[in-house]
Every structure is written in structure tokens, then in C-alpha cells.
């Protein structure tokens, strides 16, 4: 029997690879199992689920493997959109398998379906002139400079001081493909994994002809758009901190339990939230709440479904 409530849950990249890990399959399976266990609270509260996920570490590693294969063996280079598709497939597989294990361990049975999701973008989006989306591993400044000299890649320093990461264009998502099917399956009581890594960026090269483009879409913005387009009741954006903070990592740091759209916009304008970190999550929450009137919650994975857990973004 179909449940009445529908939630979109956006797993952060750290749901599968945490800081300091190499990202072995054992690491990713263990982390996915732990992340999926937190979904039980929502399921028991009567929510149907659509799961989205990041792919920053994984897609960066795929690009590194592509480069090595091209240099060493002459294998053809794969463009970034294909690398995103690759990451959707294998991350979806890991989440599917580990969530199934969690459900079986708790005497539950649901079908879990990964949908390889294309997302429409504007090829003239100004983001293509200003790459900001971090992908791949962290490097020292010296390593980043060497790579830039070798192939022209752009790097940016991590706002939390963890090193330097490659940055690529991150255009705004415009439309989610197969959204009607995603909603139908989820409202039918099954669990859908979609918009992995923000979705595969595509555009219309000409009328009636889609084509991929070299970019990575922010998964939180894509998740918010998907949540709007499937009329979700709630959006959960998961990260590695319990609540949104202002004056982050300073003696004046202050956690926020609840903020309305106007306050969230003001904090964004004042620069409290770093790009490539909390800023996209807050923007995504604003977009969902502004367009639906429903709450979005930003919180740590382990606090998903906990009453008063995380930061709630509201209309007023």
C-alpha cells in the first residue's frame, strides 16, 4: 500500500568516502550501510523515499583512472558527463545493495531501483566561465600547481583547510529527466535512487538532439529541483555537521536550529557559508522551501529523522 508522505534525502559525498579514507570498496560499502541505517527512522515514520547522492570523490577518481589509462595504454579518454554516468551506476549499486541488507536485517522488504538520471542545463550558463565545483582528492598547493602546469586544470583551496581540489563548471539544473516515473515508483512504496552526483549534465545541441556537456551539477540543487518536481513533502540535505553555523570555525561560531528564507538569504549575502561547502546546501533548501512552502532540513547523516535534529529552513 502506498504511503502518504514522500521525502527526498540527499546523501553527501562523505556518506561513502570519509576524510582520510582511500575509498576502497570495503570502505564505501561499510559507510553506505551505516548511512542507510539512518533511513529506517524515516521509513518507520511513514515516508516513501527518493535518495540522491554526491559523487565528488568518486568522479574525481574516475577521471584520474581515465587519465592514467590514456597515458599508459592509449585507452580513449572519456568526457566528464560519461564519468558522472559511470559514478551513478556504481554508487547506485553500492547504496542499493547495502540498503537492501539493512532492510533485510530489520525484516523489511522494498524494491530499490537506481535510475541513471540526465539533467538538463543551459550550455550558456555563466558557470562555464567560472568553475567552482570541487571534485576528486585533496592535494597540497605544490601538487595542485604542478597539475595545473601540466594540463591546465583549475584548483581551489578547501575552506576547511584540507588542501586543494580540482574545480569544474557547475551549471544550474533546469529539468530532471524521468521525474514522472521517479515519483510514480516512489509513491508506489518502492525506494528510488536518482540524480546521482547531481545528474548527468545534458543540453540540446539542436532541436530534439540531447548531448552531454563537460560539467558536474551540484547535487543539492538538483535534489531540491527533483523534490519540487515530484511534489515531495520534505527535503533532507545530509552533511558532516549537525547544524548550519554562522561564523563557522571561529570563537563566535553559532549553530542555527531554524531560519526562515529571509534570514538564510541574509546570511548567504554576508558570506557566512562557503562555496563548495555549505552555501549550495542553503541555496538548495531555500529553493525547495520558497517554491513549495514546505520545510527543508540540513543535518548530519546520523541525525536524520531525529526530532529537532539539524537546521530547519522555513517560509516564515
Is 21 exposed, middle or buried, given 0-12, 13-18 or 19+ CB atoms closer than 10 A? middle
In DSSP terms, 135 is beta-bridged to: 166
Is 117 exposed, middle or buried, given 0-12, 13-18 or 19+ CB atoms closer than 10 A? buried
Q: What is the C-alpha to C-alpha distance for residues 298 and 304, in angstroms, rounded to an integer?
A: 9
The pLDDT of residue 126 is 96
- Rounded to the nearest 5 degrees, what angle is found at the Cα of 290, between the Cα atoms of 286 and 292? 120
Q: What is the C-alpha to C-alpha distance for residues 117 and 292, in angstroms, rounded to an integer?
A: 23
The pLDDT of residue 220 is 96
Q: Mean per-residue pLDDT for 290-310?
A: 93
Q: Helix, strand, or coil here: 270?
A: coil
Ordered strands of the 5-11 beta sheet: 112-114, 191-193, 47-53, 5-11, 234-239, 296-300, 311-314, 258-260
72 phi and psi angles, rounded to 5 deg? -85, -35
- Residue of 12, 13, 197, 198 marked active site: 13
Q: What is the C-alpha to C-alpha distance for residues 234 and 230, in angstroms, rounded to an integer?
A: 11
The pLDDT of residue 2 is 46
In DSSP terms, 156 is beta-bridged to: 165
* Strands (E) located in 225-315: 234-239, 245-246, 254-255, 258-260, 296-300, 311-314
- Residue of 234, 243, 281, 300 marked active site: 281
**Residue 132 pLDDT > 90, yes or no?**
no
- Residue of 12, 54, 219, 309 marked active site: 219
The pLDDT of residue 308 is 82
Whether 205 sits among the annotated catalytic residues: the reply is no
Q: Are 230 and 292 in contact (CB under 8 A)?
A: no
Lowest pLDDT segment from 2-6, 160-164, 202-206, 310-314: 2-6
Whether 172 sits among the annotated catalytic residues: the reply is no
Lowest pLDDT segment from 69-73, 184-188, 222-226: 69-73
**Residue 1 pLDDT > 60, yes or no?**
no
* HSE-up (13 A, CA, CB side) for residue 42: 28
The pLDDT of residue 112 is 98
290 phi and psi angles, rounded to 5 deg? -60, -40
Lowest pLDDT segment from 29-43, 144-158, 247-261: 144-158
From 159, 152, 33, select the one nearest 96 (Cα to Cα). Answer: 33
Look-up of cell digits 563548495: 276
**pLDDT, mean over the chain:** 93
The pLDDT of residue 136 is 78
Whether 61 sits among the annotated catalytic residues: the reply is no
**Residue 12 pLDDT > 90, yes or no?**
no
Of all residues in the chain, what percent carry a pLDDT higher than 90? Answer: 78
Q: What is the C-alpha to C-alpha distance for residues 35 and 18, in angstroms, rounded to an integer?
A: 12
Whether 14 sits among the annotated catalytic residues: the reply is yes
- Residue of 12, 48, 56, 133 marked active site: 133
Q: Which of 20-29, 125-134, 193-202 has the highest mean pLDDT?
A: 193-202
**Residue 79 pLDDT > 80, yes or no?**
yes
Comparing 150 with 53, the larger pLDDT belongs to 53
**Residue 282 pLDDT > 50, yes or no?**
yes
- Global pTM reads 0.91
**Residue 247 pLDDT > 60, yes or no?**
yes
Q: How confident is the model at residue 209 (pLDDT cuts 50, 70, 90)?
A: very high
**Residue 14 pLDDT > 80, yes or no?**
no
Whether 219 sits among the annotated catalytic residues: the reply is yes
Q: Mean per-residue pLDDT for 102-117?
A: 97
CATH of domain 5-55+86-120+174-314: 3.40.1160.10
Q: Mean per-residue pLDDT for 54-70?
A: 88
Could you give the angle at which helices 179-187 and 219-229 cross, rounded to 10 degrees? 70
All three cell numbers of 164: 586543494
Look-up of cell digits 545530509: 238
Domain boundaries, the chain: 5-55+86-120+174-314
Q: What is the DSSP letter of 265?
A: H
- DSSP H or E run through 220: helix 219-229
Instruction: Find the Cα–Cα–Cα–Cα dihedral 26, 30, 35, 41, rounded to 10°.
Output: 150
The pLDDT of residue 153 is 85
CB under 8 Å to 124, separation ≥6 — which residues? none
Amino acid at each position: 500500500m502506498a504511503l502518504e508522505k514522500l521525502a527526498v534525502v540527499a546523501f553527501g559525498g562523505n556518506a561513502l568516502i570519509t576524510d582520510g579514507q582511500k575509498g576502497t570498496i570495503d570502505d564505501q560499502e561499510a559507510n553506505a550501510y551505516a548511512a542507510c541505517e539512518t533511513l529506517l527512522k524515516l521509513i518507520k515514520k511513514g515516508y516513501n523515499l527518493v535518495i540522491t547522492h554526491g559523487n565528488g570523490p568518486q568522479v574525481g577518481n574516475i577521471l584520474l583512472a581515465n587519465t592514467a589509462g590514456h597515458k599508459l595504454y592509449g585507452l580513449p579518454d572519456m568526457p566528464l558527463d560519461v564519468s558522472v554516468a559511470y559514478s551513478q551506476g556504481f554508487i547506485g549499486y553500492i547504496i542499493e545493495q547495502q540498503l537492501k541488507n539493512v532492510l533485510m536485517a530489520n525484516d523489511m522488504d522494498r524494491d530499490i531501483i537506481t535510475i541513471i538520471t540526465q539533467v538538463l542545463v543551459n550550455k550558456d550558463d555563466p558557470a562555464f566561465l567560472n568553475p567552482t565545483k570541487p571534485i576528486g582528492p585533496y592535494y597540497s598547493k605544490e601538487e595542485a600547481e604542478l597539475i595545473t602546469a601540466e594540463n591546465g586544470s583549475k584548483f581551489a583551496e578547501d575552506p576547511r583547510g584540507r588542501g586543494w581540489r580540482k574545480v569544474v563548471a557547475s551549471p544550474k539544473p533546469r529539468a530532471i529527466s524521468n521525474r514522472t516515473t521517479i515519483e510514480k515508483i516512489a509513491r508506489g512504496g518502492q525506494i528510488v535512487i536518482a540524480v546521482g552526483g547531481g545528474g548527468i549534465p545534458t543540453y540540446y545541441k539542436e532541436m530534439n538532439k540531447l548531448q552531454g556537456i563537460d560539467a558536474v551539477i551540484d547535487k543539492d540543487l538538483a535534489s531540491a529541483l527533483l523534490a519540487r518536481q515530484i511534489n515531495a513533502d520534505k527535503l533532507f540535505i545530509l552533511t558532516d555537521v549537525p547544524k548550519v553555523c554562522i561564523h563557522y570555525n571561529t570563537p563566535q561560531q553559532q549553530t542555527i536550529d531554524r531560519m526562515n528564507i529571509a534570514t538564510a538569504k541574509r546570511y548567504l549575502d554576508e558570506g557566512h557559508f562557503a562555496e563548495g561547502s555549505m552555501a549550495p546546501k542553503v541555496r538548495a533548501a531555500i529553493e525547495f522551501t520558497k517554491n513549495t512552502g514546505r520545510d527543508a532540513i540540513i543535518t548530519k547523516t546520523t541525525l536524520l529523522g531525529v526530532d529537532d535534529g539539524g537546521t530547519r529552513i522555513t517560509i516564515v
